[in-house]
Amino acid sequence: MSVRKLKPITPGQRGRVVNGYDAITTDKPEKSLLAPKKRSGGRNNAGKMTMRYKGGGHKKRYRVIDFKRNRFNDVAEVKSIEYDPNRSAFIALTEFKDGEKRYIIAQNGIQVGQKVQSGEAASPEIGNALPLSAIPLGTIISCIELHPGQGAVIARSAGSFAQLMARDGKFATIKMPSGETRLILTACLATIGAVSNSDHQLLVSGKAGRTRWLGRRPRTRPVAMNPVDHPMGGGEGRASGGHPRSRNGIPAKGFRTRSKNKASNKYIVERRKK
């Protein structure tokens, strides 16, 4: 894993930091695992814009990822590590003995030719998916299920990981990437190791156009709007905008929006730090 700082031979390359892509082994995706990806441009089925600042961007095809890892005790071989335009993490192409191929989220340190497995019989090695009941305490994990059989929903982005802290009965205590400590059923699967491409946070785009290539349009500052458009708009001259808040008036800094009656509150041992 490495990043490169480019020489400023053009204005857009001044200060730009790009990924070295050392871990990538091929630039051709597996055709059988590609799916079309339609874009909405932030419009709903009636053509009305319901999400602002979306649109444009380079054409992409979706890579079908196996988040469930439900071929238990079957050994697969890692064939390649690939770039995925739909996520910050790298993905690994695995092939089972019967010829079936599946993409999985690549963990940091996973190698081509390595054997990966899922299920209780798997050893706690990088890339293997095990139930939380079979993982040694203190292990760094990622791609964690929140409900058994649901598929991975937690710690899937580049460089993210959680830690298995304790087990008590049917619950395991997990230290989440946000810093929150939470109880999760021990029947849920998790993958050993941190997610790949941890250098993603070091990248610098260098110019506004690169953000447009990702499908993100320029964002208008609320302070620059009129009072009819935003609670922070209006005022004579360059007014500060008052208290930071969202478009529908909810305070933006330090205000807790989580419901006090939410059913899953009882599973949170310690909240994340502000």
- Same domain assignment for residues 189 and 242: no
Whose CA is closest to 64, among 105, 99, 112? 105
CATH of the domain at 194: 2.40.50.140
Strand partners, 190: 130
- Same domain assignment for residues 197 and 229: no
- Same domain assignment for residues 182 and 258: no
Confidence of residue 250 (pLDDT cuts 50, 70, 90): very high
- Same domain assignment for residues 22 and 90: yes
Q: What is the pLDDT of residues 128-166, one digit of tens each?
A: 999 999 999 999 999 999 999 999 999 999 999 999 999
- Same domain assignment for residues 105 and 12: yes
**What token pair was written down for 38?**
């339609």
Q: What is the pLDDT of residues 75-133, one digit of tens each?
A: 999 999 999 999 999 999 999 999 999 999 999 999 999 999 999 999 999 999 999 99
Residue 206 lies in a domain: no
- Same domain assignment for residues 191 and 229: no
Please state the φ and ψ torsions of residue 85, each to the nearest 5 degrees: -70, -10
Domain with 159 in it = 3-201
DSSP 8-state class, residue 208: H
- Same domain assignment for residues 128 and 252: no
pLDDT at position 1, please?
A: 64
Q: Please tell me the distance from the alpha carbon of residue 52 to that of residue 57, in angstroms, as a whole number.
A: 15
Per-residue pLDDT at 173 exceeds 90: yes
Q: For the chain, how many structural domains are there in total?
A: 2
Residue 211 lies in a domain: no
Predicted TM-score (pTM) of this structure: 0.92
- Residues contacting 256, CB < 8 A, separation 6+: none
